[in-house]
Amino acid sequence: MSKRYAGITGTGHYVPEYVLTNQELETIVDTNDEWIRTRTGIRERRILKDKDKATSFMATRAAEEVLERTGTDPKEIDVIIVATVTPDYMFPATACLVQKNIGATRAYAFDMLAACSGFLFALTTGSNMIESGRAQKVLVIGADKMSSIVDYTDRNTCILFGDGAGAVLLEAFEEETGVIDYVHYTDGDDQCLLYQPAGGSKRPASHETVDLHLHSLRQDGRPVFKKATEGMADVSAEIMKRNNLTGEDVDWLVPHQANLRIISATANRMGLDPSKVMINIDKYGNTTAATIPLCLCEWSDRLSKGDKLVLTAFGGGLTWGATYVKWSV
Ligand code: ACO
């Protein structure tokens, strides 16, 4: 059998309407617009205010958009993977709720947890399913309602995150296109540099865990910043070297949007002109698993068949990686 490739044939996205600006955050915690902009690049982020709506709502909207844009019948979908750290429930998986909502009656569905690297790892999983010949069409979604695990009394973290979802459709190709190569890493975070202390089996929910705000994300920003800057730059350089790519060859860098300074360091290391870097952190902040598909969706009109993209992320786990994609449509 000739080699099969998994190409991205469409994108979809959803961001909530409510805009939480730096100015509004100034009224909530001891911070200021200038600090947030110069340290992170963030001006505002979107928040899903409706208490009845959760990650599956945003993931469903993103999935519906990609199905509509590609003219795909949901019954054609074989697999749905949702990357998220903020599932509606511990179980059932958010992907199962999306499967029901969109009527993908033939698909099996599951969630993947790799924090900010979640979309990249899910893209690899989905593309391997297609390359193996066992699946024809896979929906890969990155979605996070970060506002549900952010402590709005902690200025170190509450300024960073926003809510959103992005989706791509992967389809089988005979020609060399789509996901060409990937490099992924993990370095188990036994020091708890970036984690959600309670709610899992180690520290189930109790009055005490709620009183101590232990269900919110915690981050030791400085060491994570250092590791993220090194990790994203090194892995991007590594995937370029493996594929004989220079900064001239790469058409687009699609970086996880955690901090503008980390993105700039990665682009510099790759020798890329800043005009080739997708950046929307100013509008959305860090939407965890959603940042990369949100960029792909926003830039989709400017992408051409054959464009060479390097996707790269770093996140909790610790997890990081880069993926080389040739645009398929
Ligand atoms: N407003 C004003 N001052 C602040 C704020 C704020 N919102 N937050 C922190 N400060 C203060 C600190 O208290 C500190 O003051 P001190 O020196 O008196 O102690 C000072 O500003 C500097 O703090 P740093 O933590 O050194 O600031 P830094 O420049 O490192 O920026 C940041 C912090 C933006 C969090 C940065 O460390 C970062 O981006 N880290 C990496 C994030 C990342 O990539 N995470 C991985 C992905 S996320 C995921 O997987 C879910």
Q: What is the pLDDT of residues 215-226, one digit of tens each?
A: 999 999 999 999
pLDDT at residue 2, rounded to an integer = 81
d(CA 210, CA 309): 43
Cβ–ligand 1 contact at 173 (below 6 Å) = no
Q: Kindly tell me if the per-residue pLDDT of 136 is higher than 90.
A: yes
pLDDT at residue 148, rounded to an integer = 98
d(CA 217, CA 146): 9
Render pLDDT for 74-94 as a digit per residue (tens, 0 to 9). 999 999 999 999 999 999 999
Cβ–ligand 1 contact at 232 (below 6 Å) = no
Mean residue pLDDT of the chain comes to 97
pLDDT at residue 206, rounded to an integer = 98
d(CA 274, CA 82): 30
Please name the residues in contact with 237: beta carbons below 8 A apart, sequence gap of 6 or more: 269, 270
Residue identifier of the C-alpha nearest atom 3 of ligand 1 = 31
pLDDT at residue 215, rounded to an integer = 97
Please report, as a single letter, which amino acid is at residue 236: S
Render pLDDT for 3-47 as a digit per residue (tens, 0 to 9). 999 999 999 999 999 999 999 999 999 999 999 999 999 999 999
Residue identifier of the C-alpha nearest atom 29 of ligand 1 = 39
- Pairing mode, strands 218-219 and 44-47: unpaired
d(CA 157, CA 187): 22
Cβ–ligand 1 contact at 83 (below 6 Å) = no
Residue identifier of the C-alpha nearest atom 11 of ligand 1 = 156
Render pLDDT for 145-195 as a digit per residue (tens, 0 to 9). 999 999 999 999 999 999 999 999 999 999 999 999 999 999 999 999 999
d(CA 248, CA 272): 7
Give the mutation target among 225, 284, 287, 319 for probing the ligand 1 site: most ligand atoms within 8 A of CB.
225
